[in-house]
Amino acid sequence: MILNLTLTTNLNTPLYITIRLCFKRHHQNSHTIVSSLTLHRHNTSMSPWMIVLITIGASILIYKLLNLISKPSLPLPPGPKPWPIVGNLPHMGPVPHHALAALALKHGPLMHLRLGFVDVIVAASRPVAEQFLKVHDANFSSRPPNSGAKYMAYNYQDLVFAPYGPRWRLLRKISYVHMFSSKALDDFSHIRQEEVARLIRNLASSGSKAANLGQLLNVCTTNALARVMIGRRVFNDGNSGCDPRADEFKSMVVELMVLAGVFNVGDFVPALEWLDLQGVQAKMKKLHKRFDEFLTSIIQDHEVSKSEKHNDLLSKLLSLKEKVDEDEDKLNDTQIKALLLNMFAAGTDTSSSTTEWAIAELIRNPGLMVSIQKELDTVVGANRLVNEMDLAHLPYLEAVVKETFRLHPSTPLSLPRVANESCEIFNYHIPKGATLLVNVWAISRDPKEWSNPLEFKPERFLPGGEKFDVDIKGTDFEVIPFGAGRRICAGMSLGLRMVQLLTATLVHAFDWELENGLLPEKLNMDEAYGLTLQREKPLLVHPRPRLAQHLYLYDDFNVCPIMVLPFTDKCLLQHQLKSYKYLFHFFHILLH
């Protein structure tokens, strides 16, 4: 069936609203028009709000007719009763993964919601997630349309939001070969270790001032990734503190994740998209412009220095763009920028935020901190820093990282997928075109799967523990921080290795105290809203060196050049977060 709505809103001309209801007869190839409604406005004084009301009313009428005609034989999954017009959007709350977890306790782990006019299916348990991401993975391999991909990801030209097909497979292959394969990871391991060593020296020189660990981690991960991607660092990290540009870049990335995680009304009630009620689309366009300037400058800088030999991802992408056979899909500058944006945003923010959560949990659990330090002292000693060759010999560290990903998955709600065809899951009808959300956060805290699920307990992943044989790489569905199936996170191997190296090195190199003598049990562990799981409050710490003194002395390594970034203004991120927090209270006021 097809619902086709055309709306002309120019107030100086007549308004034409045309809604056509169509369905496809099973024994014919053509579509038959069942109903057609056309509204004409000749009164040029009609207000925009009257236009909206007419459009919504007509849309609801046709939507009801659609449901009557296409009612399936099987029931939809259970779920909360939708509100008029906005559906279940008010139920999402300021922190959607929390709200959906609470709804699942009432309605079950397989839920149906209606967000505006869009069917949304939520999976909140291991068996349900396995059905969608393993048994029916091929049917849920594409993304639904959304404003974030349209306005911030170069109109679906990136890897994350590209439709499943030849273009997506090409981008995935390029990313794997040049960034995420075992060979690529090993080839660039020295870069990660150098940047982590810089982080250690920078923390050691912080003096009496508390260090913002999350911010310093972001500088480290961004520079490590930038050296692989574009052949140079992008931030300073001198002894006096962070490069001011790093603060702005971090805020840009966090803003990107916040905006990408917003349940934008226009995505679910298309008739209201042009109003941009939340101001989300305007913010997306503004942020996209800033990122585009940053990425364009990177490409231009590479093209200026073509005579120099570069061994980085961007050089390979540019050469691939020129050498690809005519019969193959070609990469253009827009697709290259979209791919770089994916890497910078997802590759830096998720690794740094997960490591910040790991250190926070260890500070809150001093006994666990002592245990992991003992393992590190035995394997590594006190006269050198951890390197990636050590990671395979640190089982307690591996358990700590797994437990961190369980309690604090970097993406608490999976990126949305869409049903290519209708299907049946546990005797429920899943309609074609429905959006799938997997509540990764809820699954990894499910008391049916985990004993004491809210407790940070790495021992559960050690020999003799309840989940000793459980992996976090998408094969065991009780903990899937990287997703699973065809759309599993492309950078999983790199992200996991980076979090392990960072966590091990930070715990090995320092003892930790909280700012102003705050007791560990008083540490705020609240979560901030966004596509990725950020801490609501930054982790402010005093690192106390515990290894040989020479390891903390700053040397120059073979310093890569630092690129000048075209940043302009600061993000008003806190104000935006506050506005999103109270966004859904608007619906209660509106509907009363």
Instruction: Please tell me what DSSP assigns to residue 163.
Output: P
pLDDT at site 531: 79
Examine the pLDDT at 557 and tell me if it is beyond 70.
no
**pLDDT tens digits along 199-238:** 999 999 988 899 999 999 999 999 999 899 888 888 876 5
Asked if residue 423 belongs to a known ligand binding site, the reply is: no
Instruction: Provide, rounded to the nearest whole percent, the portion of the chain with pLDDT above 90.
Output: 56
Split at pLDDT 50, 70, 90, the class of 60 is low
pLDDT at site 208: 86
Residue where the block lists tokens 């609501």:
536
User: Which CB contacts under 8 angstroms, 24+ apart, belong to 207-211?
Assistant: 208/542, 209/241, 210/515, 210/516, 210/540, 210/541, 210/542, 211/540, 211/541, 211/542, 211/543
Amino acid identity, position 488: I
pLDDT at site 113: 97
pLDDT at site 235: 81
Give strand pairing partners of 22.
2, 33
CA distance 6 to 28: 26
Average pLDDT score, the chain: 83
Average pLDDT over residues 520-547: 93
Examine the pLDDT at 426 and tell me if it is beyond 70.
yes
Of how many residues is the chain composed?
592
Residue 383: partners with Cβ closer than 8 Å, 6 or more residues away = 547, 548, 551
Split at pLDDT 50, 70, 90, the class of 322 is low
Instruction: Provide, rounded to the nearest whole percent, the portion of the chain with pLDDT above 70.
Output: 77
Torsion angles phi and psi, residue 116, rounded to 5: 65, -120
Dihedral angle sign, alpha carbons of residues 356, 359, 363, 368:
positive
**pLDDT tens digits along 352-369:** 999 999 999 999 999 999
**pLDDT tens digits along 76-111:** 999 999 998 889 999 998 899 999 999 999 999 999
Average pLDDT over residues 15-30: 38
pLDDT at site 22: 41
DSSP string, 302-330: HHHTTTS---SHHHHHHHHHHHS-TTSPP
**pLDDT tens digits along 171-191:** 999 889 888 999 999 999 999
CA distance 437 to 111: 10
Which position has the higher pLDDT, 581 or 522? 522
pLDDT at site 313: 86
Examine the pLDDT at 327 and tell me if it is beyond 60.
no
Split at pLDDT 50, 70, 90, the class of 276 is confident
Q: Do 565 and 297 form a contact (C-beta atoms < 8 A)? A: yes
Split at pLDDT 50, 70, 90, the class of 17 is very low
Examine the pLDDT at 561 and tell me if it is beyond 80.
no
